[in-house]
């Protein structure tokens, strides 16, 4: 009897030891997403270095401007853990998964699936909670589990702690399904997500927030369709800090240019012409610029080089523009030694040839009140003549 008890106890201990060993082995697969020194491995998508800093083994976000940083690497299936705390009441932030390389049209946020990071004093409503909502934004899609008629998934319990206490998130993403554990318990889930492969982002949205122990464990990849994959890195860099006009000269119209968080506003009257020039020149510049005309008489020229003046009042362009007060996205580059242009996703034919030595700044030339946002640029290589 005693011998049998000893054997049973030994077997039980062995099982527990093996289980613990497997757990330790699994935990060892996690790797930190920050090195504790700088932002290596991350891209300042549309926020400047001043927004983010490493202090006392924490990533500190000032909350200004509104915008994001993203990983250099794309992820599909993974488990991400992090701790966060807001340092001011009603603080707002978020973790985005499966996101595109740059922000979506007319907003400072990426297309992707957001895991909400709200401070408790923000308050709960029928449309949101402060305890770990998950929802797709700006063109992404998701079927919520525990939804309320829309695409947002709501937590089954209120487990988030108020400022300045720390909260722990465990985000698991697998084959288009996502779950969130808040302080040790899964409370929010979604499925059928598109995209389901992309970048991971951390959001700055107005409040000071601290992150620590941010780590990730990648899971085996599975087949994913092109339509289920976010837009991969195209090499764009943000030219606007969201804080000031650093990197630009206003050519005598400084008083009419206003930095309004992620929006760069030209506030001149109907007949006032602005001229904002990037201090950096680009070889055959490619760019993304979002534009919102504020008055029916407002116009805008964008000059991307000697043979690349784009007039938004041109008939073939204007017909694809949104009405006054709505955002438009212009994207331009070079293909077969000619410049191409899209307006809100519609490609416009351009007849101007491009030389291989057309280094130039990017110029924004509005007349009348105009808002700009999401200003990105890159140098484009031009194919050599045969």
Helix (H), strand (E), coil (C) string for the chain = CHHHHHHHHHHHHHHHHHHHHHHHHHHHCCEECCCCCCCCCEECCCCCHHHEEEECCEEEECCCCCEEEEECCCECCEEEEEEEEECCCCCEEEEEEEECCCCCCCCCCCCEEEEEEECHHHCCCCCCCCCCCEEEECCCEEEEECECCCCCECCCCCCCCCCCCCEEEEEEEECCEEEEEECCEEEEEEEEEECCEEEEEEEECCCCEEEEEEEEEECCCCCCCHHHECCCCCCCEECCCCCCCCCEECCCCHHHEEEECCEEEECCCCCCECCEEEEEEEECEEEEEEEEECCCCCEEEEECCCCCEEECCCHHHHCCCCCCCCCEEEEEEEECCEEEEEECCEEECCCCECCCCCEEEEEEEEECCEEEEEEEEEECCCCCCC
What pLDDT, on a 0 to 100 scale, did the predictor assign at position 307?
Answer: 63
What pLDDT, on a 0 to 100 scale, did the predictor assign at position 311?
Answer: 92
Taken in order of first residue, the domains within the chain and their CATH numbers are 25-231 (2.60.120.560), 238-379 (2.60.120.560)
Residues 74 and 206 sit within 8 Å (Cβ to Cβ): no
Question: How far is it, in rounded angstroms, from Cα 196 to Cα 226?
Answer: 10
* Torsion, Cα of 352, 356, 357, 360 (10° steps): 50
What pLDDT, on a 0 to 100 scale, did the predictor assign at position 269?
Answer: 92
Question: How far is it, in rounded angstroms, from Cα 304 to Cα 340?
Answer: 12
What pLDDT, on a 0 to 100 scale, did the predictor assign at position 304?
Answer: 83
pTM: 0.90
What pLDDT, on a 0 to 100 scale, did the predictor assign at position 77?
Answer: 98
Residue 338 main-chain phi, psi, to 5 deg: -130, 150
Q: Give whole-number Cα distances, 358 to 51, 104, 300, 308, 310, in Å.
A: 34, 29, 22, 10, 16
Q: 217-250 pLDDT, tens per residue?
A: 999 999 999 999 999 999 999 999 999 999 999 9
Q: Token pair 């800093």 is at which residue? A: 53
Q: Per the omega criterion (within 30 degrees of 0), is the bond before 384 cis?
A: no
* Of the candidates 78, 181, 163, 154, the residue with the CA atom closest to the CA atom of residue 118: 163
What pLDDT, on a 0 to 100 scale, did the predictor assign at position 25?
Answer: 45
Structure token digits, residue 345: 């996703």
What's the first-to-final CA gap in the chain, in angstroms?
Answer: 91
Question: How far is it, in rounded angstroms, from Cα 8 to Cα 14?
Answer: 10
What pLDDT, on a 0 to 100 scale, did the predictor assign at position 5?
Answer: 44
Question: How far is it, in rounded angstroms, from Cα 52 to Cα 319?
Answer: 41
Strands 167-174 vs 42-43: parallel, antiparallel or unpaired? unpaired
Question: How far is it, in rounded angstroms, from Cα 386 to Cα 383?
Answer: 9
What pLDDT, on a 0 to 100 scale, did the predictor assign at position 28?
Answer: 60
Structure token digits, residue 368: 């009348």
List Cβ neighbours of 288 (8 Å cut-off, separation of 6 or more). Answer: 102, 236, 329, 330, 331, 374, 375, 376, 377
What pLDDT, on a 0 to 100 scale, did the predictor assign at position 386?
Answer: 43
pLDDT digit of tens for each residue in the chain (386 aa)? 444 545 555 455 454 545 544 444 445 699 999 999 999 999 999 999 999 999 999 999 999 999 999 999 999 999 999 999 999 999 999 999 999 999 999 999 999 999 999 999 999 999 999 999 999 999 999 999 999 999 999 999 999 999 999 999 999 999 999 999 999 999 999 999 999 999 999 999 989 999 999 999 999 999 999 999 999 999 999 999 999 999 999 988 999 999 999 999 999 998 899 999 999 998 888 999 999 999 999 999 998 876 678 999 999 899 999 999 999 999 998 887 788 899 999 998 876 666 556 688 999 999 999 999 999 999 876 554 44
List Cβ neighbours of 125 (8 Å cut-off, separation of 6 or more). Answer: none
């Amino acid at each position: 009897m005693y011998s049998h008890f000893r054997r049973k106890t030994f077997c039980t201990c062995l099982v527990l030891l093996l289980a613990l060993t497997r757990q330790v082995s699994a935990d060892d697969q996690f790797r930190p997403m920050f090195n504790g020194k700088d932002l290596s491995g991350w891209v300042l998508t549309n926020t400047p270095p001043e927004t983010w800093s490493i202090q006392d083994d924490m990533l500190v976000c000032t909350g200004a401007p509104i915008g994001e940083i993203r990983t250099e690497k794309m992820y599909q299936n993974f488990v991400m853990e992090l701790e966060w705390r807001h340092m001011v009441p009603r603080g707002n932030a978020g973790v985005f998964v499966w996101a595109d390389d740059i922000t979506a049209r007319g907003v400072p946020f990426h297309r992707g699936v957001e895991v909400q990071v709200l401070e408790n004093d923000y308050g709960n409503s029928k449309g949101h909670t402060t305890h770990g909502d998950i929802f797709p934004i700006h063109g992404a899609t998701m079927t919520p589990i525990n939804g309320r008629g829309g695409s947002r998934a709501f937590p089954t319990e209120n487990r988030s702690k108020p400022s300045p206490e720390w909260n722990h998130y465990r985000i698991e993403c697998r084959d288009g399904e996502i779950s969130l554990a808040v302080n040790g318990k899964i409370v929010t889930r979604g499925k059928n997500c598109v995209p389901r492969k992309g970048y991971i982002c951390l959001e700055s949205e107005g409040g000071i927030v601290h992150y620590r122990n941010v780590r990730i464990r990648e899971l085996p990849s599975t087949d994913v369709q092109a339509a289920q994959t976010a837009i991969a890195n195209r090499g764009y860099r943000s030219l606007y800090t969201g804080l000031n006009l650093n990197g630009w000269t206003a050519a005598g119209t400084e008083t009419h240019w206003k930095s309004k968080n992620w929006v760069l506003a030209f506030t001149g009257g109907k007949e006032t012409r602005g001229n904002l020039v990037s201090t950096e020149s680009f070889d055959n510049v490619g760019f993304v610029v979002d534009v919102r005309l504020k008055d029916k008489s407002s116009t805008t020229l964008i000059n991307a080089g000697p043979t690349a003046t784009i007039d938004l009042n041109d008939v073939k362009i204007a017909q694809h523009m949104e009405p006054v007060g709505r955002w438009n996205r212009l994207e331009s580059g070079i293909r077969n030694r000619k410049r191409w242009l899209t307006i809100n996703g519609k490609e416009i034919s351009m007849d101007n040839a491009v030389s291989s030595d057309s280094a130039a700044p990017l110029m924004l030339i509005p007349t009348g009140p105009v808002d700009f946002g999401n200003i990105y640029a890159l140098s484009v290589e031009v194919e050599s003549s045969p």
